[in-house]
Structure 1
């Protein structure tokens, strides 16, 4: 079994028995996709809600461009988008400032954008661990689609 690292503003795929891991999810969101029949996993570590330009070079950085890219990558190794389910983690509000504008709510805005992007593909979210004010490290199993979440404040959980 290999653990494939997915960096910030990055996407990756794996087949059973391999898994995918990303670290440093603060306001970023980890999008964990899984096809339980093909046992194909996909993970995106998005930083921002939407790409502002069609010329954006790193599509993995944004929710609205990372989701379709990840689905396509999963299909190339045997997944079927009709069977894919999702789990989400991250989207924390890491810092709070008095008089904070909506633009500074990056974590919650990221979560909303991910949900919209998944909805466009009719991908069901089966579990999520989002919000709060702590960072997360996640690992998605290619065997069963379980998502292990580690936080400094809350320990380890699996969804």
Structure 2
């Protein structure tokens, strides 16, 4: 069973996910085309935060690749751990941020739309588990840092050159 991190601020790296319980908060930075997906249980005040780099583990050439890198496997693992800590899937809610299109391309190549594809993949997976997406701040072309507070369910989003918003 994955442990619940106990710290003032639990830091999640790129292609990683962790759990945090109030009064701790959980943060990740460097969200460009990546998605920060927060899944939380209000009653338990426990949250998982996944920093997803790519939409689908089928893209992995190496089948031993880091599962936290991909939307499908990162969320699967995080949801399993939340359940191990007594969270009910029926109570889970989500907030997401990121999925920017960081570079402009002259071609309409679908493979270059990593940010939008990441956002679509995370939403699809949340839908498969019937987890309600409460709020999102996705798209655009700016990087983000996010911090979630499991106690009050706020997601603080700092966007490059645009300040902070709360969803």
TM-score interval w.r.t. the shorter chain? over 0.9
Residue 26, structure 1, aligned to residue 23, structure 2: no
Separation in 2, partners of 1:93, 1:135: 10
After TM superposition, the structure 1 stretch with the greater mean CA deviation from structure 2, 32-41 or 126-135, is 32-41
Report 1:1-159 matches (<5 A). Answer: 2-52=8-58, 55-159=63-167
Separation in 1, partners of 2:63, 2:35: 22
* CA offset digits 1:47-101 (Å, max 9, x no partner): 0000125924311100111111111111222311110000010000000011241
After TM superposition, the structure 1 stretch with the greater mean CA deviation from structure 2, 11-20 or 45-54, is 45-54
TM-score (norm 2): 0.91
Question: Alpha carbon RMSD of aligned pairs, Å?
Answer: 1.3
TM-score (norm 1): 0.95
1:24 alignment partner, SS class: strand
Separation in 2, partners of 1:82, 1:57: 30
Structure 2: which 5+ runs fail to align?
1-6
Separation in 2, partners of 1:152, 1:22: 14
Count of equivalent residues: 159
Preserved CA contact (<8 Å) 1:26 1:91: yes
Shift of the alpha carbon at 1:142? 1.8
Structure 1: which 5+ runs fail to align?
none
